[in-house]
């Protein structure tokens, strides 16, 4: 009874999708873009979990929001929407061929004014190259600035100058582009090297939303 009364005043989320740190849901209340909300989420397995989100997009069927926590709730959401590592959609969906080798599993959000809808996701990134999944096509030979958050409070976002080597349609929804990295600010190279060296120790989870510059 106490839990019921405690949750009465909270927003009520009905979660229907999740990926790259973004949860999609219907809500009992009207929400504003950028708004941070605490509520109770109904998951497809009938479980109810506390959830704190920040709204990033309005959808025809509801909202999309960045998951802020708590970690325990995010773990439960990932159990439902992310498959096991061998078939994990976070790991595989950005590939043209699912049998291609994977260097690391976790996806990261990047933004650029030159990208469709200003954003993309990357799971393959190194000091020399990156593979992005996009909502639309970019032209081969395009040079652009990517803003990548290393998802570490101790490390500020890194600006990367890159060039599109190729861009191919993955399916009816996504495109995949391979980029060569042209330059990284000298002061930021050691940060990126350390970050990449530790990627194998990081677990799949939320991607970071970046500011376009």
State the Cα torsion 61-89-159-55 to the nearest 10°.
20
pLDDT for 162 beyond 70: yes
pTM recorded for the entire structure: 0.51
Residue 181: which domain range? 85-201
Q: Percent of the chain beyond pLDDT 70?
A: 72
What is the count of structural domains for the chain? 2
Write the CATH number for 112: 2.40.10.220
Beta-carbon contacts of residue 172 (< 8 Å; ≥ 6 apart): none
| Residues 55 and 125 occupy one common structural domain | no
Q: Tell me: the pLDDT tens digits for 2-60?
A: 444 344 567 899 999 887 678 899 998 889 988 999 999 999 888 899 999 999 898 88
CATH of the domain at 22: 2.40.10
Q: Is 91 helix (H, G, I), strand (E, B) or coil?
A: helix
Do 105 and 188 share a domain, yes or no? yes
Residue 42 domain-assigned (yes or no): yes
CB 132 within 8 A of CB 123: no
65 lies in the same domain as 102: no
Which residues, listed in sequence order, are joined to residue 48 by a DSSP beta bridge?
42
């Amino acid at each position: 009874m106490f839990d019921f009364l405690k949750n009465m005043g909270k927003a009520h989320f009905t979660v229907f999708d999740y990926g790259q740190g973004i949860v999609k849901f219907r809500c009992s209340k009207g929400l504003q873009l950028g708004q941070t909300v605490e509520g109770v989420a109904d998951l497809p397995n009938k479980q109810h979990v506390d959830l704190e989100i920040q709204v990033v997009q309005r959808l025809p069927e509801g909202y999309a929001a960045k998951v802020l926590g708590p970690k325990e709730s995010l773990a439960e959401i990932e159990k439902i929407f992310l498959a096991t590592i061998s078939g994990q959609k976070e790991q595989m969906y950005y590939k043209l061929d699912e049998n291609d080798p994977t260097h690391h599993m976790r996806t990261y959000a990047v933004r650029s004014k030159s990208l469709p809808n200003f954003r993309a996701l990357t799971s393959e990134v190194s000091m020399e190259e990156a593979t992005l999944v996009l909502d639309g096509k970019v032209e081969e030979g395009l040079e652009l600035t990517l803003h990548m958050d290393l998802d570490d409070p101790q490390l500020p976002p890194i600006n990367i100058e890159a060039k599109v080597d190729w861009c191919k349609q993955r399916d009816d929804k996504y495109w995949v582009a391979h980029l060569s990295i042209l330059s990284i600010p000298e002061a930021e190279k050691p940060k990126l090297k350390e970050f990449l060296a530790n990627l194998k120790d990081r677990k799949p989870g939320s991607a970071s939303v970046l500011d376009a510059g």
